[in-house]
Amino acid sequence: MNSWEKQLETNIAEVLFDEAALSQRVREIAQQINADYQALDIDELVVVGVLRGSVVFMSDLIRQLQLPLTIDFIAISSYAKGTHTSGMVRILKDIGAPITDKHVLVIEDIVDSGLTMQHLFALLQARAPRSLKLCTLLDKPSRRQVDITPDYRGFEIPDVFVVGYGLDFADQYRQLPYIGTLKPEAYQ
């Protein structure tokens, strides 16, 4: 282990979900999504990943889906470099293709206050998809400020700041193969 890897590891207070738990839960979510959309006999599912945090989760998830699908990405932000939402939602990159009359599944890393997803869903609903659902790896309902409930979720977590498996702090820790909490001194 090099010094950079040691620094990352020493900043982790606790591992909440290891690789095995993440892999198992992704398989379970995929089975549920497969069953729900196969029952609809859809022509195509548009999977929209919310950049950048969802990339690892989305990559693992779509490999488990047994559906005709296309993928797209949107970049939306409500965080600066801190650990709490700023409340200011910005579209940094929009999806590239129309979604009118299509089944759309948004893939997110974490739903916290719900403000970002509320804004994103209003934007996407205005484009008249046939259906619009939300799949999140992590759900933090104790911080919810608006009424939004994921259709699919991996894990409910308490009000702690998490990193790894795509989630970051100041653009670090995304590559960790697990989800853990940061020691307070790592972000203060």
Q: Decide if 8 is inside a domain.
A: no
The CATH number linked to 101 is 3.40.50.2020
How high is the pLDDT of residue 83? Answer: 52
Assigned domain for 4 exists: no
Residue 51 falls inside a structural domain: yes
**Residue 115 domain flag:** yes
Percent of the chain past pLDDT 70, that is, above it, reads 93
168 is a domain residue: no
| Domain membership flag for residue 117 | yes
152 belongs to a structural domain: yes
Residues catalogued as catalytic: 112
The predicted model gives 4-28 an average pLDDT of 90
pLDDT for 90? 82
Instruction: Please give the pLDDT value at position 86.
Output: 54
What's the whole-number mean pLDDT along residues 106-111?
Answer: 97
Q: Is residue 167 part of a domain?
A: no
Tell me the per-residue pLDDT of 147-175, one tens digit each, with 9 for 90 and over.
999 999 999 999 999 999 999 998 899 99
Question: What residue numbers bound the domain in which 108 lies?
Answer: 19-157
Average pLDDT over residues 111-118: 92
pLDDT at 72: 98
Q: How confident is the model at residue 185 (pLDDT cuts 50, 70, 90)?
A: confident
Q: Using one digit for the tens of pLDDT, what is the confidence trace for 47-93?
A: 999 999 999 999 999 999 999 999 999 998 775 555 555 567 788 99
HEC string of the chain equals CCHHHHHHHHCEEEEEECHHHHHHHHHHHHHHHHHHHHHHCCCCEEEEEEECCCHHHHHHHHCCCCCCEEEEEEEEECCCCCCCCCCCCEEEECCCCCCCCCEEEEEEEEECCCHHHHHHHHHHHCCCCCEEEEEEEEECHHHCCCCCCCCEEEEECCCCCEEECCECECCECCCCCCEEEECHHHCC
Tally of domains within the chain: 1
What is the pTM assigned to this prediction? 0.91
- What mean pLDDT is reported for the chain? 91
Would you state the pLDDT for residue 4?
66
pLDDT score of 88: 72
